[in-house]
Amino acid sequence: MAFVGRDKMNNNQTLLFFLFILSLLHGCTALQSFPHAARSGDTVALAVGSPLNMARENTTATLTDINDVVTDITSNIRSIFKLYADPDSKVYNYSTPTWNLVSSSGHAPWISIVVLDLPVGLPEGSASIKFNTTATYPSIGSHLNDRELAIEILPGEGVSNDFTYEFGVGSSLPGNLNLLEPQPRAIYGHLFPSTECPCPDYAAIEVRTTISTNAGVISNDSIRVVPQDLTLLTYSGRDFTHGVTSAGDELLVTFLSTDGTLKHFEAQFSVVLYPNKFNGTPVIDSIKYFDIDGNEVAGPASEFAVSLK
């Protein structure tokens, strides 16, 4: 994962790599770039915590060099994407760090990564990178706007990493980091934190929505529904599932918990269309909540909304 891949990592860089990965477990903002030292023109990555809806469109960046000269490097940002842990890893256990992250953010445990190219011609010595974003951060930590992330500028001039990878035996292609960023999508979910809750747990939540597209209808081969994985909020091994059916321009998404431990804000999902486009913001026709006996019960329906991103 050394993005300046042409040089071997020294022992300090190796240690920082593991600290970088450790930050994933806590959903924290790293205090240094990775690698922590690079040349002008090199490509670096920064772990910037677990914000909601952080993107290049709502984020700017500056670099302050050893001489206190401030340079706008917003145009040097190549990609901002989410990094998820292996679902089999300890991150998905019912652990205090993960619990704190999810319960204070209302979304799945991820860490956002910013990949950028350092500008050329930087003076050697200590520097820092600062971001400004309108993205929302969990309440358990500082907002990224309050942080300066350290980096040491090494002598010499580096080069931007094209992330070349093998594409079939004997052939290669440059990597496209933009493919890691979210596509235009409709995001469904509850207001977080809720003003109507605390709420009871549920056995099922059913969301019915109408989606208008330039094609007129939706079908299983032109739509992708992506539920967020928030099931670690309850005990490990809970039986949780979701189902999706579509007809015409109507979509029905159902979240089920056979032991009745579904939290209201676990009914989160996004809808991605391909190759079609949304024709305006989708409409929520109804959202229903059910108890373990199959009875419809009250829930924070007024706080459930959809938006296009």
CB atoms within 10 A of CB 66: 14
Alpha carbon distance 196, 244 (integer Å): 27
- Prior bond to 182 cis, omega within 30? no
Quick one: pLDDT at residue 272?
A: 92
Assess whether 23 and 149 both reside in one domain: yes
> Which is it for strands 269-273 and 186-190: parallel, antiparallel or unpaired?
antiparallel
Q: Are residues 123 and 256 in the same domain?
A: no
Domain finish residue from 178, 199, 223 = 178
Residues of the chain with pLDDT under 70: 1-28, 30-32, 94-95, 230-243, 246-247
pLDDT at 236: 41
Which residues are registered as beta bridge partners of 204? 256, 290
| Cα–Cα distance, 29 to 260 (Å, whole number) | 35
Decide if 24 contacts 83 (C-beta within 8 A): yes
Residue type, 232: L
What's the confidence (pLDDT) of residue 232? 55
Distance in angstroms (rounded) separating the CA atoms of residues 197 and 105: 15
149 with 267, same domain: the answer is no
> Which pLDDT does position 100 carry in this prediction?
81
Whether 160 and 289 map to the same domain: the answer is: no
Half-sphere exposure of 6 (CA within 13 A, CB side): 10
Q: Is 221 a member of any domain?
A: yes
Domain identity same for 161 and 192: no
Neighbour tally for 65: CB within 10 Å = 20
CATH at 112: 2.60.40
Tokens 């321009």: give the residue. Answer: 249
The predicted structure's pLDDT at residue 27: 57
The residue range of the domain holding 19 is 11-166+172-178
* Domains identified in the chain, total number: 2
DSSP three-state, residue 103: helix
What pLDDT score was predicted for residue 31? 66
